[in-house]
């Protein structure tokens, strides 16, 4: 399915399509065509309105860490973080921030999404935003 395609409700497979976009290296969100409101997690009807007039679009990927926790693992497995990120477009989602130690990930930190391939599947991750974006 191409971005911005509208399909009959029986043909819509949001979870499969979301993963297919990630597998292609693309981060896509859904939004209600009527209100323009984006949402996450992909589904067959828009939250609140119940609209089925939906489309996929490519968000900016910019976000802010809303919450962070550190998952402590038994050595030699390294610790990792789990974050909730508020995207610039509005939705909040769960992921992890890479490129820093888990202890250096802070609430309010500006981050940028990227898609990585892990075990042959696309996975949405975040990196610290470039310095010029963090200062803005």
Q: Which segments of the chain does DSSP mark as H helices, in order?
A: 14-23, 131-135
Is 7 or 95 the better-scoring residue by pLDDT? 95
Residues 75-107 have pLDDT tens digits of 999 999 999 999 999 999 999 999 999 999 999
CATH class label, 62-135: mainly beta
d(CA 125, CA 58): 15
Q: What is the mean pLDDT of residues 28-33?
A: 95
pLDDT of residue 7: 42
Confidence (pTM): 0.84
Please report, for the chain, the start and end positions of each structural domain, with discontinuous segments joined by +: 9-57, 62-135
Pairing mode, strands 92-95 and 80-87: antiparallel
Q: What whole-number distance in Å separates Cα of residue 11 and Cα of residue 44? A: 10
Average pLDDT over residues 64-69: 98
Average pLDDT on 15-38 reads 96
């Amino acid at each position: 399915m191409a971005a911005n395609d509208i399909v009959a409700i029986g043909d819509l497979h949001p979870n499969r399509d979301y993963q297919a976009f990630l597998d292609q290296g693309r981060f896509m969100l859904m939004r209600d065509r009527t209100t323009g409101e984006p949402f996450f997690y992909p589904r067959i009807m828009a939250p609140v309105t119940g609209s089925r007039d939906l489309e996929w679009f490519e968000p900016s990927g910019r976000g802010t860490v809303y919450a962070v926790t550190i998952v402590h693992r038994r050595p030699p497995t390294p610790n990792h973080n789990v974050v909730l990120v508020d995207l610039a477009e509005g939705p909040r989602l769960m992921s992890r921030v890479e490129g820093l130690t888990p202890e250096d990930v802070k609430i309010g930190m500006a981050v940028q999404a990227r898609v990585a391939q892990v075990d042959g599947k696309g996975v949405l991750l975040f990196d610290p935003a470039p310095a010029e974006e963090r200062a803005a």
